[in-house]
Amino acid sequence: MDQGDAKLIRMANQIATFMASKPEAEGVAGLAGHINDFWDPRMRGRLLDHLARGGAGLMPMVIAAAPLIRPPAEAP
Amino acid sequence: MKDFILPSDRDMGTPASRSTTMVTLEIDGFAVTVPEGTSILRAAAEIGISVPKLCATDSLEAFGSCRLCLVEIEGRAGTPASCTTPVAAGLKVHTQTAKLKQLRRGVMELYISDHPLDCLTCAANGDCELQDMAGAVGLREVRYDSPQVNEMATHFRARNTSGEPNPDWLPKDQSNPYFTYDPAKCIVCNRCVRACEEVQGTFALTIDGRGWDSRVSTGAADFLSSDCVSCGACVQACPTATLTENTVIQIGAPERSVLTTCAYCGVGCQFKAEMRGEELVRMVPWKQGKANRGHSCVKGRFAWGYATHKDRILKPMIREAITDPWQEVSWAEALDFAATRLRSIQERHGRRSIGVITSSRCTNEETYLVQKLARAVFRNNNTDTCARVCHSPTGYGLGQTYGTSAGTQDFDSVDHCDVALVIGANPAAAHPVFASRLKRRLRQGAKLIVIDPRRTETVEGAHYRAVHHLALTPGTNVAVVSALAHVIVTEGLHDEGFIRNRCDWNEFLDYAEFIADPRHSPEAVESVTGVPAAEIRAAARLYATGGNAAIYYGLGVTEHSQGSTTVIAIANLAMLTGNIGRPGVGVNPLRGQNNVQGSCDMGSFPHELPGYRHVKHPEVRAIFEAAWGVPIDHEPGLRIPNMLDAAVEGTFRGLYCQGEDILQSDPDTHHVAAGLAAMDCVIVHDLFLNETANYAHVFLPGSSFLEKDGTFTNAERRINRVRRVMAPKAGFADWEVTQMLANAMGAGWGYTHPSQIMAEIAATTPSFAGVTYDLLDRLGSVQWPCNAAAPEGTPLMHVDGFVRGKGRFIRTDYVATDEKTGPRYPLLLTTGRILSQYNVGAQTRRTDNVAWHPEDVLEIHPHDAEVRGIRDGDWVRLASRSGETTLRANLTDRVAPGVVYTTFHHPETQANVITTDYSDWATNCPEYKVTAVQVSPSNGPTDWQKDYAAQAAQARRILPAAE
């Protein structure tokens, strides 16, 4: 895990920490929605790669949100 | 400019009455109807009759000392002063009678007998009310002369004919760099003293002595060493040459005025730029300016000399590598170099490998063009602005709860507030003109609660003191604000009617259950926040039950790991108590820079198009795709910290940065420098070779706010006009430079005036639909939303319903920041701003404001200093896990033990070497306000500071242009 991954893991966990005060399903959806709305595709791609490798260091809520995180799309 | 005529600036003599009861009287045979409480002096002015006056002016309460504005009233005895006599129904007033003429002439004769008759060489020549009044009363001779023997009964003759010094004569006080106090010209009208009290609220001036001995006094050795904050209110109020701007003394009287808007903080004061040719003589706050109501601070009023400073770079420059010296080139060559590099990066690394940073100091029109450059020409959403590092959590938090990202009130609202809750803001230093308006209200009896780790200048001032100062441990905002909400809910102080009517009731029930949990009680969080529980309880009760309660907050709220959560908690608090949607209440973010609000409105953020509309929505993209003729990327772009991370990683390689110095202003300087150094093309567009330019390949000269047309939007959503008063020194306004860069990349833009850019904004952005330059000229300014539903704008938001429909309560759990003190870094550093300097200081350091703040210092509590062997004024080393620097210590109990504080105005100190890369969970707004540090004695600059200075000197070399 390099420094770039470490930063994204930290950021994802921070969002999860905020969303943890909501009911679980709402929190998971809120977490994925936040990442989809505010993270550039290369950041999401990197997070998804890390999740595909098992997601070490990520809070369970981030792992639960993985299917809802949109894979990066090409620019039109 | 030439088409625009200033509305009347006529002095009405006394302030307007707010009464709605009207009274009719007769003055000089003319009937006049005015509000009850109006002075006769003002009533006369309403029908165009100017009663002679000296001590009265409409920015100050009537004083009644000069005895010049006397009138006669039928049926009343004597000759009352019309400034202190209120109107009454049926009065018959005469302003000019034989008796009055004689009395006034006698008064003027006495004034002039102790005034030098050097009018022709006087700085106030042509702009002197004493001169005007001598003319108005027909003064033709002065019969009194001072005895020529030993006693010299004047204040203006330095010596008598025998050369003996006159003990009543005082020399000029030239200690203030911007104005001169000449006691010889003083008529003791008290206007300066009253302006300092009533308008500024500092009470730095007084009249010393009685009768003949009466003198204006600062109570100190001179103005500079006194309590004076150099706001200029006294200079403006002075009717003679006693207090005069040094520029007027040096240049002479201005010949015309152009109305424009200050380019410093988010208050957005309107000024008259008083000109002689292309030379700016002085900036005078405009009486009709709705943000400032005729007031100013030391920055806007005086600190504009940077615009003509010798450090300005006026020629475009390029270089192959940042290790090379700069090469001056033509505009065409610089733009071609930049365009070729940017396109080549995109060819090699993809469309999303370059981006822009828009400026919160530039105009709306310029900012709009820069984000358009990213979206329509680069064809990605890699646009961000310095609001990222200040108020991005406001955008998120208020957007989530209320539905739009903006303050809810206008500044006039403060006149109706009963309780002001100031959180993480120090308006007395950072938003001084708003602070003056707040202080005026506090002196009238409104209560103040301050939540801030430091005992700031705002906590206590002349004739007011915060009822509660919650001096919390940095990083515990959410715990404190949630505890306030806990008290309000559990003690039943919430406004159920408002909540049922205006908010989502089920979400409220969920929130109430959450916040009522004992873990949010003041007692439970006391050990974390360091605030006594009883203080929090008392503050909550006052906020909830003290009448109209208004929240004003600043970067002490947003610049935290939980910045967005605190904004949400604040929004919850206002909804809970029904303090939203009427004058005197609301949630008011105090914006740091002049156009932070505007830069956010204009679509600077990488996830949203102008008007806060997410790029994911096809219907929003369609509007801009139709206007711009290109498809728009539907993926959010990179935020500034993400850009730098991606740069270090190698996927982001080109940046156009307008009017922003990210190397100095952004956190974790080492990381910013590494990101910039990794890029292939950094374009800096600025007035000066700023710190970021040390890592740039292209430098495009910028233009100051005096050199261009446009608009700024202040913290109250007020769109103010900026008007060009002089030609751009480097040949082009900033919007023209962006357009040239876009066109060098093939855009084909053809704007010829910023009004056309505003027309495009209005056509694409619903909240700006009604905004035109004509409207702004007509109304002076307008607050968005401005559209068919609100053709003259919207002073108060969420009046009948929230923008999003029902207000939304959101749970706010306190989570301690990961930035924790420990044995290596046992103190918490928090940062801020001081009155005389602004942001990274690029502007204010290039003015005489350095007289007040020549260097950044570290505030440290005497206990913390003593155990470290540090004395006041010592050099100290300040270190965090990110880096270290040195600066001088200032021992003070303004900070609590365990907390240290500094400013970030000077690149030699670079406070941001210390700050970390931790940031707000929602927006990546950096956590400037909490850094674990250690402080120790030091002998001088750190190695880093020496290396930095050497690199900067190397990077700033300029080769002359090839002939």
Contacts of A45 in chain B (CB under 8 A): none
Kindly list the domain boundaries of chain A, sorted by start residue: 11-68
Which residues, 6 or more positions from B783, have their beta carbon under 8 angstroms from its beta carbon? B410, B716, B717, B718, B719, B793, B794, B795
Q: Is B923 on the interface with A (CB under 8 A)?
A: yes
Query: Tell me, what's the pLDDT at B434?
Result: 96
What does the alpha-carbon distance between residue B788 and residue B790 come to, in Å, rounded to a whole number? 6
- Check pLDDT > 90 for residue B402: yes
Q: Minimal Cα–Cα distance from B192 to chain A, Å?
A: 52
What does the alpha-carbon distance between residue B452 and residue B859 come to, in Å, rounded to a whole number? 15
Strands B72-73 and B92-94: antiparallel
Nearest to A75 among B380, B639, B812 (CB): B380
- Kindly determine whether residue A40 and residue B614, on different chains, have CB atoms separated by under 8 Å: no
Average pLDDT over residues B646-651: 95
Which residue of chain B has the CA closest to A11?
B921
Query: Tell me, what's the pLDDT at B3?
Result: 44
Nearest to B642 among A21, A36, A43 (CB): A43
Would you list the DSSP string of B868-894? Answer: TT--TT-EEEEE-SS-EEEEEEEE-TT
Q: Is B648 on the interface with A (CB under 8 A)?
A: yes
- Kindly determine whether residue A40 and residue B351, on different chains, have CB atoms separated by under 8 Å: no
What does the alpha-carbon distance between residue B306 and residue B850 come to, in Å, rounded to a whole number? 12
Which residue of chain A has the CA closest to B636?
A40
Q: Is A1 on the interface with B (CB under 8 A)?
A: no
Q: Is B400 on the interface with A (CB under 8 A)?
A: no
- Check pLDDT > 80 for residue B420: yes
CB atoms within 10 A of CB B121: 7
Contacts of B614 in chain A (CB under 8 A): 37
- Kindly determine whether residue B382 and residue A40, on different chains, have CB atoms separated by under 8 Å: yes
Contacts of A59 in chain B (CB under 8 A): none
What is the residue whose two structure tokens read 């001072």?
A: B146
Could you give all domains of chain B from N- to C-terminal order, each with its CATH number? 22-136 (3.10.20.740), 179-308 (3.30.70.20), 317-390+596-783 (3.40.50.740), 407-589 (3.40.228.10), 827-955 (2.40.40.20)
Query: Tell me, what's the pLDDT at B152?
Result: 61
What does the alpha-carbon distance between residue B247 and residue B131 come to, in Å, rounded to a whole number? 21
The average confidence (pLDDT) of chain B is: 93
What is the residue whose two structure tokens read 């064809």?
A: B379
Nearest to A34 among B380, B812, B922 (CB): B922
Q: Is B917 on the interface with A (CB under 8 A)?
A: yes
Contacts of B919 in chain A (CB under 8 A): 11
Q: Minimal Cα–Cα distance from A62 to chain B, Å?
A: 14
- Kindly determine whether residue B614 and residue A37, on different chains, have CB atoms separated by under 8 Å: yes
- DSSP 8-state assignment for residue B213: G
pLDDT in tens, B898-931: 999 998 888 777 778 888 888 999 998 988 889 9
Contacts of B621 in chain A (CB under 8 A): none
Task: Name the amino acid, one letter, at B387.
Answer: A
- Kindly determine whether residue B634 and residue A22, on different chains, have CB atoms separated by under 8 Å: no
Shortest CA distance to B628 belongs to which of B642, B641, B609, B614?
B609
Query: Tell me, what's the pLDDT at B147?
Result: 63
pLDDT in tens, B932-947: 999 999 887 888 888 8
Tokens representing B199?
């308008």
3-state SS track over B702-739: CCCHHHCCEEEECCCCEEEEECCCCCCCCCCCHHHHHH
From residue A16, give the alpha-carbon distance in Å to each of A26, A61, B337, B512, B637: 11, 6, 45, 22, 21
Nearest to B635 among A20, A22, A75 (CB): A75
Lowest mean pLDDT among B599-603, B775-779, B850-854: B850-854
Would you list the DSSP string of B501-568? Answer: HHB-HHHHHHHHHHHHSGGGSHHHHHHHH---HHHHHHHHHHHHHSSSEEEEE-HHHHSSTTHHHHHH
CA angle at B420 for the pair B415 and B422, rounded to the nearest 5°: 130
- Check pLDDT > 80 for residue B250: yes
- Kindly determine whether residue B649 and residue A73, on different chains, have CB atoms separated by under 8 Å: no
- Work out the pLDDT band at B387, boundaries 50, 70, 90: confident
Average pLDDT over residues B145-164: 75
What does the alpha-carbon distance between residue B918 and residue B903 come to, in Å, rounded to a whole number? 19
Cα B864 to chain centroid distance, Å, stands at 33
Q: Exposure string (b/e) for B233-248, b if CB count within 10 Å is 16 or more?
A: bbbbbbbbbbbbbbbb
What does the alpha-carbon distance between residue B917 and residue A10 come to, in Å, rounded to a whole number? 11
Q: Minimal Cα–Cα distance from A15 to chain B, Å?
A: 5
- Kindly determine whether residue A4 and residue B648, on different chains, have CB atoms separated by under 8 Å: yes
Q: Is A26 on the interface with B (CB under 8 A)?
A: no
From residue B774, give the alpha-carbon distance in Å to each of B97, B273, B762, B771, B930: 46, 20, 13, 8, 46
The number of residues in chain A equals 76
- Kindly determine whether residue B921 and residue A22, on different chains, have CB atoms separated by under 8 Å: no
Question: Is the bond into A67 cis (omega within 30 degrees of 0)?
Answer: no
What ipTM did this prediction achieve?
0.96
Residue pairs between chains A and B whose CB atoms are closer than 8 Å: 72
Q: Which of B642, B811, B882, B925 to mutate to test the interface with A (most CBs of A within 10 A)?
A: B642
Nearest to B637 among A4, A17, A40 (CB): A40
Q: Is B645 on the interface with A (CB under 8 A)?
A: yes
pLDDT in tens, B650-676: 999 999 999 999 998 888 888 899 999
Contact B780, B797 (CB under 8 A): no
CB atoms within 10 A of CB B103: 16
pLDDT in tens, B671-730: 899 999 999 999 999 999 999 999 999 999 999 999 999 999 999 999 999 999 999 999
Contacts of A43 in chain B (CB under 8 A): 638, 642
Query: Tell me, what's the pLDDT at B43?
Result: 97
pLDDT in tens, B533-584: 999 999 999 999 999 999 999 999 999 999 999 999 999 999 999 999 999 9
CB atoms within 10 A of CB B183: 17
- Kindly determine whether residue A4 and residue B645, on different chains, have CB atoms separated by under 8 Å: yes
From residue B789, give the alpha-carbon distance in Å to each of A40, B470, B580, B715, B766: 36, 42, 20, 22, 10
Q: Minimal Cα–Cα distance from A54 to chain B, Å?
A: 22
Residues 36-65 of A with CB under 8 A from B: 36-43
Q: Calculate the CA dihedral of residues B704, B709, B714, B717 and round it to 10 degrees.
A: -160
Contacts of A50 in chain B (CB under 8 A): none
CA angle at B669 for the pair B383 and B311, rounded to the nearest 5°: 80
Nearest to A41 among B614, B635, B922 (CB): B635
What does the alpha-carbon distance between residue B196 and residue B200 come to, in Å, rounded to a whole number? 5
- Work out the pLDDT band at B90, boundaries 50, 70, 90: very high
- Check pLDDT > 80 for residue B445: yes
- Work out the pLDDT band at B297, boundaries 50, 70, 90: very high
Radius of gyration of chain B (CA): 29
Contacts of A7 in chain B (CB under 8 A): 645, 917
pLDDT in tens, B200-230: 999 999 999 998 899 999 999 999 999 999 9
From residue B675, give the alpha-carbon distance in Å to each of B323, B668, B921: 16, 11, 22
- Work out the pLDDT band at B148, boundaries 50, 70, 90: low
Q: Which of B346, B351, B635 to mutate to test the interface with A (most CBs of A within 10 A)?
A: B635
Query: Tell me, what's the pLDDT at B1?
Result: 40
Q: Calculate the CA dihedral of residues B155, B159, B164, B168 and round it to 10 degrees.
A: 10
- Kindly determine whether residue A18 and residue B924, on different chains, have CB atoms separated by under 8 Å: no
- Kindly determine whether residue A41 and residue B561, on different chains, have CB atoms separated by under 8 Å: no
Q: Is A28 on the interface with B (CB under 8 A)?
A: no
Nearest to A75 among B351, B564, B811 (CB): B351
What does the alpha-carbon distance between residue A51 and residue A32 come to, in Å, rounded to a whole number? 13
Q: Is B898 on the interface with A (CB under 8 A)?
A: no
From residue B872, give the alpha-carbon distance in Å to each of B471, B495, B937: 23, 50, 11
Average pLDDT over residues B423-435: 94
Q: Minimal Cα–Cα distance from B630 to chain A, Å?
A: 10
What does the alpha-carbon distance between residue B88 and residue B36 come to, in Å, rounded to a whole number? 8
Shortest CA distance to B238 belongs to which of B139, B135, B130?
B130
What does the alpha-carbon distance between residue B185 and residue B470 come to, in Å, rounded to a whole number? 47
- Check pLDDT > 60 for residue B149: no
Residues 401-430 of B with CB under 8 A from A: none
Q: Is B616 on the interface with A (CB under 8 A)?
A: yes
- Check pLDDT > 80 for residue B471: yes
Q: Exposure string (b/e) for B538-551, b if CB count within 10 Å is 16 or more?
A: bbbebbbebebbbb
Shortest CA distance to B914 belongs to which of B924, B926, B925, B897?
B926
Nearest to A7 among B616, B633, B645 (CB): B645
Shortest CA distance to B769 belongs to which of B794, B788, B755, B795?
B788
From residue B201, give the alpha-carbon distance in Å to each of B186, B440, B642, B778: 22, 7, 44, 32
Percentage, residues of chain B above pLDDT 90: 84
Task: Name the amino acid, one letter, at B888.
Answer: R
Query: Tell me, what's the pLDDT at A75?
Result: 63
Q: Is A14 on the interface with B (CB under 8 A)?
A: yes
From residue B860, give the alpha-carbon distance in Å to each of B171, B345, B949: 39, 48, 26
Shortest CA distance to B596 belongs to which of B585, B605, B608?
B605
